[in-house]
Amino acid sequence: MPADAETDTGDVVSSSSGGPGGDGPPVADRDSVDDDGYVIGSGRSGIVRRIDHDDFDPVGTLVLIAIYMAIVGVMWVFMYFVEFLGGDLTVIG
Amino acid sequence: MEIHKYEKVWLAGALLLIVGLIATVSYGAVGAGIEMVGDEGGQVDPASLDEHPKFGEPGTYQTGEDEYDVYVIAQQFSFEPGTSEPIRVPADSTVTLHVTSADVIHGFEVVGTNANTMAVPGQVATITIEVDEPGEYGLLCNEYCGSAHHAMEGSLEVVPQSEWNESMVVN
């Protein structure tokens, strides 16, 4: 077991950094790269689905932002037109 | 650069917010006539306020029909008038408050309303307000002015027209 661990560590160092203290781009483990490319950090899995730029559809984020905008808008209208302009003793001069 | 369609949506929304904020504040200034406190009140010598023609005898002065000037001195830790006796103005009138300080920077806030200004020694803050219904408002200092700042408060009394009398004005 100690021998295996040392061997693994040595492999990682030699394949990913290329030298002591080096911080260049990581080098892929050749075994995890197939013909379709690979995703850094994803181990041996390949690309499952390739989509175009506008096919990315974070509709949940859109809804969250829409709700947030609506809250900000309603609060602004309430704060300015109801609380401030509708308040007593408004300074007019 | 390719911008995602959703990103365009929230860029437009953010721009709309900015334009909306500026538009509403512009409306308040132009349409609703909200004024800021300026420097048109002029300057006074804070060390000799008692020699000032109005601050020498602070209180409510009648300047026209349903128009009143109120001179208020803020000092550690009271408003004069305001604290020992309330500021009295008649209902349904236009009131111009002239506020200055005799010592350090104070605040002059009619609690729960938009009438709010700093009281700066040497500078007269002038704010004009319209008072309608009779009632009583609180006054407080909202600028830290010393050890008893928290106790610096007073009241503004809007007196019904039927109860208003000459003894409530200085002039």
Q: Interface pTM (ipTM) of the complex?
A: 0.70
Q: Does the beta carbon of A73 lie under 8 angstroms from any beta carbon of chain B?
A: yes
Query: Distance between CA B137 and CA B140 in Å, rounded?
Result: 10
Yes or no, beta carbons of B113 and A58 under 8 Å apart = no
Whether residues A59 and A28 share a domain: the answer is no
Query: Distance between CA A92 and CA A89 in Å, rounded?
Result: 9
Which of A50, A65, A84 is the endpoint of a domain? A50
Total tally of structural domains belonging to chain A: 2
Write out chain B's pLDDT in tens, 171 residues: 788 888 888 899 899 999 999 999 999 889 888 888 888 888 999 998 888 888 998 999 999 888 999 999 999 999 989 899 999 999 999 999 999 999 999 999 999 888 899 999 999 999 999 898 899 999 999 999 999 999 999 999 999 988 888 777 877
Question: Which residue is associated with the tokens 């021998």?
Answer: A3
Whether residues A37 and A71 share a domain: the answer is no
Q: Which residues of B touch A83 (CB under 8 A)?
A: none
Yes or no, beta carbons of B128 and A80 under 8 Å apart = no
Exposed / middle / buried, residue A88 (Cβ in 10 Å: 0-12, 13-18, 19+)? middle
Whether residues A59 and A45 share a domain: the answer is no
Q: Which residues of B touch A91 (CB under 8 A)?
A: 34-37, 114-115, 127-129
Whether residues A80 and A39 share a domain: the answer is no
Whether residues A71 and A93 share a domain: the answer is yes
Find which of B19, B22, B24, B136 to mutate to test the A interface (most A CBs within 10 Å of its CB): B24
Structural domain range at position A61: 53-93
Q: Beta partners for B87?
A: B156
Smallest CA–CA distance from B113 into chain A, residue: A88
Query: For residue B95, what are its two tokens?
Result: 């009131």
Residue B170: φ, ψ to 5°: -80, -40
| B139: nearest Cα among B120, B122, B119, B159 | B119
Q: Does the beta carbon of A41 lie under 8 angstroms from any beta carbon of chain B?
A: no
Yes or no, beta carbons of A61 and B114 under 8 Å apart = no
pLDDT at position B102 is 92
pTM of the complete model = 0.70
